Structures are given as structure tokens and as C-alpha cells.
Chains A and B, each alone.
Chain A
Amino acid sequence: MDKIIFTGPMGAGKTTAISSISDIPPISTEVRCSDDAQLRKETTTVAMDYGYFSLDDGSRVHLYGTPGQERFDYMWTILTKGGIGLVLLLDNARPDPLADLTFYLDAFKDFIQQTGAVIGVTRMDVSNQTSLDDYRNTLFARDQIFPVFEVDARQPNDVKILIHALLAILQ
């Protein structure tokens, strides 16, 4: 079973990305935010998102989204089991998206080493203080080379590009 994991900080677009390309209504575990995060986002994922997406050859790619917050890190371990690769979505409008990049690369280090990853940067239309080259330079400084794309998680084609890029580097 081809299982791809979507991760990244809260609000980066993981649930939206899976919803935008899933062949079925996605299974979602969103609940109302009870803290200050609700000022920017009303709901958050506390267990997982799930959907699947059919490739041109008819095979299915299963899509699992993780909760974004670190307090749910036990779900990261559970969800990455059996995964073939990671889609890391980063919100360019957060205060320090390069720190987010480093944090998630470290948190999923073992999984990435065994599989592979692509980076999707969302909300570049809201903030362009960090460029795609800044992300690539950060990766380069860590001796990691992964494809980096600007994406709109609401656009199916943008999300499909991430999936196809990930499958290409895994081959």
C-alpha cells in the first residue's frame, strides 16, 4: 500500500490539501481550537486526516495528514509506520517558516532518511519575506536536497505536483 504522510505546522494546509485531491470525502478529526490559535484558525486536527488519490495507472495513493502541534507527536510516530514518503507543508506567513522547516525535518528525520520528502510552501501570496531560495539554502546547509514548490493547498493541481514529485524521487 502506497501511503504518503502530510505534515507541517498548524494552518499550513494539510487537511485542505488532502481534501482537494482525495477521491473520497476525506476522513477528518478536526475539533474546535480552545486556545489563542483560534484567532487565526477555528479548528485543528487532533488525530489524522485520511483520503486517497488514484494515479493514471489506476493504483491508489493513500494520504494521511498528521496533527500539526508537537503535543500530538505520538500520532506522527503512529502515522508514519508503513509510509513511503513525506509531504512537508509550510506556511510562509508564520513568524519563522525556516525554523518550522528545520523543526519538522528534525522531527521526521528517521522517516525521511528511510523514504524521501518534498516541501510545499503555502501562503506565499500573504507573505513573501521568505523566498523559495531561502528554503533551498536552508536545506543545502543541512546537506539535504528536496524539491521545494510554492503551492496553494486548495488547488488540486498544486497538490498533485507535490505527490508526483515525491513519487518521482522515490523511484
Chain B
Amino acid sequence: MLSKLATIQLEQRLSKLIEQCSAVDAAVVATLDGYTCAMKQRSQQYPLERLATMGSTLMSLGDTITAELRLGTCDNIISENKNGIVAFMHIDDNLVLITLATQKNALGMLLSHSRRCAEEMKKVVV
């Protein structure tokens, strides 16, 4: 499990993500076996612990699919929906970043901010 300091740093980085990218409504860091490490959302409307567990399942399925097809590692999984977008991406081999946007045209912004956030988080959890 992560140290207390690392958890605080992840929470701070999630706050920064939500501050810097107006499209992000919620963000969660989860372990690949489904435990929540850190989470932030603009309003308390999403069950983020459940999302964390489901994110671990989806990321693992993505890894399995890309391995079966020999497509390398799975970078992102994007769920585009009627009322928003959810993006799942690896921070490292053990952690997943899940971000949620309710703006439908925000995919590029969501992915670029989330990717930068994941890269910075990777340095925190080394």
C-alpha cells in the first residue's frame, strides 16, 4: 500500500487537476486490484469508490486484450457516453487514474490533462 505522504501528494495532484481543467468533474486513483487510494470531485455526486473498483477491472481487461493482440501496453480506455466521458489510464503497473467529464466535447482536454497528471503521479509513487 502507499505511504501516507504519497497518498497526500496524490490527493493534492488530483485537486490541481480539477482546478486546472474545468472539464474534469471527478478523479480517482485506484490500485489495480480495486482499492481507492485518493479521490476528488467537484460535488459529492459520484460513487467514486465503486468507480475505482470498476476502473481496475476495465484497465485489467484492457491490458489482457492488448496482450492477446500483441498491441503493447494499454495506455487508455475511454468510455464516451450520452452524458459524459470516463477515461482510465495507467499511472504505473499497480495504479490507475480514472477521470470523469460531463462535457461531451472535452475528450482532448480530459485526456491531455489526465495524462500529464498520471505522469507526475508516477514520480510520486516510485
* Chain A residues with a Cβ under 8 A of chain B: 27-29, 31-35, 44, 46-48, 67, 69, 71-72, 74-75
Contacts and interface: CB of A to CB of B under 8 A. Distances in A.
Nearest to B52: A71
Contact of B60 (A33, A46, A69, A71): A46
Contacts of A33: 33
Interface residues on B, range: 10 to 19
Given A46-B34, A69-B34, A72-B34, A31 B60 contact: yes
Contacts of A27: 64, 68
9 contacts: A27-B68, A31-B56, A34-B31, A34-B35, A34-B94, A35-B1, A46-B32, A46-B60, A47-B60
Interface in B30-49: 31-35
Contact of B33 (A28, A44, A48, A74): A44
Of A34, A48, A67, A69, most buried by chain B (CB within 10 Å of CB) is A34
Contacts of A75: 57
A46 B1 contact: no
Interface in B61-80: 61, 63-64, 68
A32 B59 CA distance: 13
Interface of B: 1, 31-35, 53-54, 56-58, 60-61, 63-64, 68, 93-94
Contacts of A28: 64
A44 to B, nearest CB: 6
A35 B35 contact: yes
A32 B93 CA distance: 9
Nearest to A50: B64
Contacts of A44: 33
A32 B68 CA distance: 19
Contacts of A67: 57
A46 B94 contact: no
Contacts of B32: 31-32, 34, 46
Contacts of A71: 34, 53
A32 B96 CA distance: 13
